[in-house]
Amino acid sequence: MTQLISDRRDIEFVLHEQLEAETLSGLHENFADFNKKTIDLVISEAKNFAVKELLPANKEGDQVGCKLENGKVTTPESFKRLYKIFNEGEWLATTEDPEWGGQGMPRTVASAAAEYFNGANFPFMMYPGLTQGAGHLVEKFGTPEQKRIYLKNMFTGKWTGTMLLTEPGAGSDVGALTTKAIRNGDGTFSIVGEKIFISGGEHDLAENIIHPVLARIEGAPEGTKGISLFLVPKFRVNPDGTPGEFNDVICTGIEHKLGIHGNSTCSLSLGSKGNCIGTLLGQENKGMQAMFLMMNEARRLVGFQGFACATAAYMYALDYARNRVQGKNILEFMNPDAKSVTIINHPDVKRQLMMMKVFVEGMRSLLYFVQYSADMALHAPTKEEKDKYHGFVEVLTPIAKGYVTDRSFEVCSQGMQVYGGYGFIEEYPMAQLLRDCRITLIYEGTNGIQAMDLLGRKLGLNKGKPIMDLFGEIQKMVAAAKAIPRLEKQAVKIEEALNKLGEVAIHMGTAAMSEKVLHAFANAHPFQDATGDVTMAWMLLWRAVIAANKLEAAKKKDAPFYEGIIRSLQFFVETQLPITLGRFKALMNVSSVAVDMDDTMFPS
């Protein structure tokens, strides 16, 4: 079985030819050393670590999983060594400030490491991934004392972090939480409550676990307006920075899940013995605003998790199809002497592989572009550019999480189909990839919530400027493609889809602010699908413009690669964009049937 879990050549194409990532080196002192040579070194090191260390532990994580005994969770044995050498390689906080133990790497470049690492073993990667997100909260909102105590310990992996939002009676309705924060005389708070579905909430990988916890201070307003954010360590921290007394954070259960078995998903009881102490992180009653910083970053990470499963599934399926011999070539079907061929020669298998290729390539470009936009939003030379790229991040985050994970699961399913019956057997990688990928459509805000965010918030953000800026970027690429004879036909079709998207967006936005608001939100997910399709078309067109301009002078070894990029665009425009136009037609109706269904009309 191949260990090529990602396409190195396409990663290099996106970084160097599409985004020209080395130009970021001039934007910030931390980026200064990230020239092309350094970026290629990062890719090589990430690939080596993923294939040699992360991938071999993936199966054990799935089969052995995590175990709870007397309130303590044990992780798979291989994870302990893996976590140690992962931190020794300083991989946890690649994009964070070197002052606190990070590498100061551009997010664009770190995308390559994220792709390889999550494709090799994303259940393991959840431990450091959440830690980086929790540490970022401390960096952004913490007091100097909180930063001194926690930041370096977290960014170096000595301590891990989590995110404590969900409660049994609240779920996605965070404002309904019941966890209480009671003021103490010394400025600390006593925390009392129950949290569920906490990834990495208890484990044996690090000496301390730092929990950012959403809770309501006694007397605070109801709903999200009265929620504050607190830092609650598993062990209180002594004045010298060492872990001290146990802080009454008890793991009461771990979930037995469909996938991601290597990551502990915990139920936590805080303050059941009246002895859980937390410190306020940020301002009182501003907890949701602070937590959204971590949640938005986490949503983009989830997009990478889903995509990494998809790219691994594609590479495995491609390798299997090239080696699995079964059946005659359809043109030789009546020839009794014809030999069996590898299944990549069968039209339907090739169609499935082409579908996987197109979406994997488009999603890679999209996810890397969002991270590039995050870099530019912080470090672009002018405020105007910073605002523009920040708008791209905002508008594209629900696409990068919602649309990408929807398509990623479909790619994993296609990969299983390529394997046939063997794909359904746990001996092969497809079953685990499909199971692991499925959670990405659910956590960090279900994909339905992402669709509601896109329709309800992002379309009208800043009076619609970010979405219009995005449409402007797509139109620029359409114009560039029209000047290339081979791409003109595809460019015209994409322009037609873009114009229709603009019309539908206005129609849906108007409906969402009228008496048809329920009908509009019942169609939010199909709208996200259609918007994502046009975004995919843009990415594939952008890639094809570069490929077409380089193809004539390309070296012999590069010519098939560039030709394949152009064929990806053609395939998408010919087979997927017509479906998108059908979605637009349905969306213009803003169907009310789902909303109008009375509960009694469903089976009782």
Assess contact for 522 and 456: CB atoms under 8 A.
Answer: no
Active site residues: 444
Closest CA to 163 of 196, 191, 206: 196
The DSSP string of 81-119 is: HHHHHHHHTT-TTTTS-GGGT-----HHHHHHHHHHHHH
Assess contact for 546 and 568: CB atoms under 8 A.
Answer: no
Token pair, residue 318, equals 């491609």
Closest CA to 139 of 247, 290, 335, 4: 290
Give phi and psi for 490, each to the nearest 5.
-65, -40
Assess contact for 172 and 446: CB atoms under 8 A.
Answer: yes
Residues 6+ apart with CB under 8 A from 319: 1, 2, 4
Sign of the torsion angle spanned by Cα atoms 25, 31, 33, 35: negative
Residue 272 half-sphere exposure, CB side, CA atoms within 13 Å?
Answer: 10
Please state which architecture CATH assigns to domain 8-155: Orthogonal Bundle (1.10)
Q: Given phi > 0 = left and psi -120 to 50 = alpha, else beta, which region is 179?
A: beta
Give phi and psi for 244, each to the nearest 5.
-120, -125
Assess contact for 112 and 43: CB atoms under 8 A.
Answer: yes
Given this structure, which CATH class describes domain 160-289? Answer: mainly beta
pLDDT tens digit sequence for 482-520: 999 999 999 999 999 999 999 999 999 999 999 999 999
Task: Give pLDDT, residue 3.
Answer: 67
Sequence length of the chain is 604
CB neighbours of residue 400 within 10 Å: 28
Token pair, residue 386, equals 């910073």
Closest CA to 262 of 128, 446, 102: 128
Task: Give pLDDT, residue 173.
Answer: 76
Out of 3.40.50.300, 1.20.140.10, 3.40.50.2300, 3.30.1330.10, select the CATH number for domain 293-594: 1.20.140.10
Assess contact for 362 and 539: CB atoms under 8 A.
Answer: yes
Look at the pTM and tell me if it is higher than 0.85: yes
pLDDT tens digit sequence for 198-232: 999 999 999 999 999 999 999 999 988 999 999 99
CATH topology identical between 8-155 and 160-289: no
Task: Give pLDDT, residue 479.
Answer: 98
pLDDT tens digit sequence for 459-478: 999 999 999 999 999 999 99
Q: Give me the residue spans of the domains in the chain.
A: 8-155, 160-289, 293-594
pLDDT block averages, 10 residues each, the chain of length 604: 83 98 94 96 97 97 96 96 96 93 95 97 97 94 96 97 90 83 97 97 98 96 93 95 96 97 98 97 93 86 97 98 96 93 97 98 98 97 97 97 98 98 97 98 95 96 96 98 98 98 96 95 98 98 97 90 98 98 96 93 91
